[in-house]
Amino acid sequence: MDGRTMEEVLDNLNRRVDRIEQILPTLATKDDLRKAIAPLATKEEVRAEGERTRAHFDAVAERLEEQIRLLAEGLLSLTRQFEEFKAETNARFAEMDRRLARLEARYAER
């Protein structure tokens, strides 16, 4: 290599080293990486939390199912009571209609 080529190679290396030196302070160190990774949960911790969440959800779902069952039973009871009331009311209206018809017939005879 002649002197000029050698000088170009050294200039090129200097520019590359300058760029590397500018980037180096922005890169994470081993300590930075350890600190960043430490708070992360392990697979076992994530799995255990998932199991706790599932157990809690199952308990909540069971309570909701029981409450829904009780509501359905109450609604069924109310529906039966309403149907009985409706039948009784209809029978009373029918009786009132008969009585009114008899009174109208008596009044019409006079």
3-state SS track over 69-89: HHHHHHHHHHHHHHHHHHHHH
Helix (H) or strand (E) holding 35: helix 30-37
Going by the DSSP 8-state scheme, the letter that residue 42 receives in this structure is P
Reported as a single tens digit per residue, the pLDDT across 12-55 is 999 999 999 999 888 889 898 888 887 777 889 889 999 999 99
Give the pTM.
0.48
Residue 27 is assigned to a structural domain of this protein = yes
Residue 66 is assigned to a structural domain of this protein = no
Residue 33 is assigned to a structural domain of this protein = yes
Residue 60 is assigned to a structural domain of this protein = no
Q: Domain count of the chain?
A: 1
Residue 79 is assigned to a structural domain of this protein = no
Reported as a single tens digit per residue, the pLDDT across 56-98 is 999 999 999 999 999 999 999 999 999 999 999 999 999 999 9
Domain residue limits at 25? 1-40
